[in-house]
Amino acid sequence: MTRQQVQDRGVLARWRWAVPAFSTVVLYAVAYVTCWAAFGIKIIESRVPYDLGLNLLLAFLVFSVSRRVWPFLLLQFLYFTVFYVGSALKIAMLGRPIMPEDVHNLAALIEILGAVGWLAIALPLAALACLFVFNLKFRARPAQAGWALLIALPLGAASDPSPLSSSFDRLFGNTPWDQRENFIWRGGALHFAQESLRTLAARRPIPTEEEVRTAVRRRAAASGGMDPLVPLGRRRNVHIILEESFWDPTILSKAGYSADPIDPRFRALWKQSNHTQALSPAFGGQTANAEFEVLCGLPVSQIAVKFEFSLLNDVPCLPRILSELGYRTVASHPNVAGFWNRYVAYGHLGFETFWAQDEMDMSDRNGPFLADRSLHRQISEKLQATGDGRPVFNYIVTIDGHWMYDAGKARPPVLTSTSKVKEVGDYANLLHYKSREMMDAIEAIQRDDPDALIVVFGDHLPMLGRKFAGYVESGLLPDNFGAFTRDQYDVAAATPLLVVDGRNGPMDLGRIPMYRLPGIILRLLGEERQTIFDLVQVPASVIPRPLPDVMLTYQASAPQELCKDKTDSASCAEAAAWLSDALLLDHDLFAGDQHALKFLGHAPPARDGLHARFHVN
């Protein structure tokens, strides 16, 4: 090779390093404009240099270990599409950008969206991984330096993330109850890095026996002591029906419905209960978090789905307790068994049988989902065919009513709406059929078993358009969580709840957090012993409703209070202390050594017990 050739090659090599700088600036600008123009998400200009600088650092590091330019450019394009445009889209639909904990929900989200999920999420993520892996180089000196930094930086941050996380919060701010605001004040790269550090800093060690003992004593003292429970009923069949996205849309002032979407039979029963409501930990999704509270009696305070992580032990939740009392425990849900990790989670919670999609005739559909009429009929037939004389705990999670509110040909629209948001009318027409098929099932249970305990509730409010459009149109909610008032958080958490105490009829339970339901159910079945639900009794003076990044508190003599920090008031401090202890006991029970069971006089469930017998049939 001649000297000139060597010089030319050196010039080309130096110019090659201009590629990541130029491509990062161009793609960042395109992503910035796309987020602003398409979704109204505009990153604050003063923060752009920091966010762009972090992207440039990442680009140079990845470029240093890349063999070819074109895969690197495609990798960058996909990266900006996912972490900027994808976050803007997620904000528009769900109010929050892409977060580190979304990794727990990823498989479920892809499944929910079907073909769109595979094309818009799974394929880009797979392409990101493949482009990165197959374009790597290792031997060149720049690559070795790049690898050293790519490995050292995350490992160093992960080893002690708290100081770095606190520094980022001081520099760039943190508004935990408004992740949309965090995103626009940070940008995609900075936001994801900052929240990843926070997630790492929040990791908790397995609680010790002394920590658990202290938390149990603290909770007993704060609640006035663990008094003997007064049984309110006796053993009988129990039917819990979680109704997907079940809510009363007539409070939307601009909906202009031609008729009430909800079956008048439900209206009559609900009125007898004085319109009792359940307070859910979820909004517009994360059904399994509502399930966890209703089955296990402990609060959920994050977006990540509890079934998907840190649920490692067999725990005496409601299904296992009822099984020990001689019940046959059956869960049914017309989706794939592994969705939201239900197959594994239901086994840990104590269900004996799980009937999933593969065990059902899926021909009667609304859009892609099995209609409630068919679901209830099939479950009734299965219970009768497989009965063994034991009382039954029949737990049903419906899927009819799930967004996008597609209706089958057998259920044509019967209502009109003056709303400009398409989902408002679609949801009402679907609810028209759903509520009637739900009431047919309730009446069938009452006819065949008038003493049965029946619990029916909505898991969360429905999704009604981008940026909560259906709610915004009626002035019920603003278009982002950061603007929610105390009353609006309250509205966003409340769904209809119906507890029918056999021949005694509907109960007036007021407005009750979902985590309190399993304790009430056991009392209605005549159970007197203390359970894990009693370890986290609410404080004597306040009832907390934890939500992602905020807390509502309820008191008998005062309106609900919104807590964004434990220092907001005395009741907020009390609720925050309760939540801290509840999460510690949760960690001990579901991922730790289960010391908490000792304070109930229980031994941990045998590893070869109910969970080993759990099956899909």
Q: Which helix (H) or strand (E) holds 586?
A: helix 570-590
Across-strand partners of 546? 551
Asked whether the predicted pLDDT for residue 212 surpasses 70, the reply is: yes
500 and 381 in a common domain:
yes
CA–CA dist 142, 135 (Å, integer): 15
Instruction: For residues 248 and 311, state if they share a domain.
Output: yes
pLDDT in tens, 239-253: 999 999 999 999 999
pLDDT of residue 545: 96
Q: What is the pLDDT of residues 137-157, one digit of tens each?
A: 767 666 667 667 767 677 777
Among 456, 458, 324, which residue's Cα sits nearest to residue 395? 456
Q: Which pLDDT does position 138 carry in this prediction?
A: 67
Q: Are 212 and 117 in contact (CB under 8 A)?
A: no
The domain boundary, picked from 201, 221, 247, lies at 201
> Are residues 300 and 187 part of one domain?
no
Lowest pLDDT segment from 91-100, 447-456, 509-518: 91-100
Contacts of 395 (CB under 8 A, 6+ apart): 240, 242, 295, 319, 329, 330, 331, 332, 351
**Mean pLDDT value across residues 108-118:** 66
Same domain flag for 160 and 308: no
pTM of the full structure: 0.82
The residues, ordered by sequence, that sit 6+ positions from 42 with a Cβ below 8 Å of its Cβ are 32, 35, 36, 184
Q: Which single residue is written with the structure tokens 């594994």?
A: 344
Q: Quick: pLDDT tens for 361-387.
A: 999 998 889 999 999 999 999 999 998
Residues 161, 231, single domain; the answer is no
Pairwise CA distance, residues 240 & 571, whole Å: 32
Mean pLDDT of all residues in 421-445: 96
User: Residue 12 pLDDT > 60, yes or no?
Assistant: no
Say whether both 190 and 231 belong to one domain: no
> Does one domain contain both 437 and 541?
yes
Task: Mark whether 219 and 197 lie in a shared domain.
Answer: no
For 55-64, 189-198, 219-228, 513-522, which range has the lowest pLDDT when averaged over its residues?
A: 219-228
CA 455 to chain CA centroid, Å, is 21
CA distance 135 to 63: 10
Percentage of the chain beyond pLDDT 90 is 59
Distance CA 507, CA 101 (A): 37
Number of domains, the chain: 2
Identify whether residues 215 and 244 lie together within a single domain: yes
Question: Region 290-317: what's the mean pLDDT?
Answer: 91
Q: So what's the pLDDT on residue 609?
A: 40
Q: Are residues 356 and 479 in the same domain?
A: yes
What's the pLDDT band for 613 if we cut at 50, 70, 90? very low
- Residues 602 and 474 reside in one and the same domain: yes
pLDDT tens profile 553-589:
998 767 789 998 888 898 999 999 999 999 999 999 9
335, 365 Cβ separation under 8 angstroms: no
- Which of 201, 223, 250 delimits the end of a domain? 201
| pLDDT digit string, tens, across residues 180-206 | 888 999 999 999 999 888 888 777 889
Q: CA 91 → CA 286, 468, 564, distances in Å? A: 16, 10, 20
Within this chain, do residues 483 and 593 fall inside the same structural domain, yes or no? yes
Q: What is the DSSP letter of 506?
A: B
Q: Percent of the chain having pLDDT more than 70?
A: 88
Single residue among 185, 201, 217 that ends a domain in this structure? 201
CATH number of the structural domain spanning residue 444: 3.40.720.10
> In the prediction, which pLDDT does 8 show?
42
Provide the residue range defining the domain that includes 122.
3-201
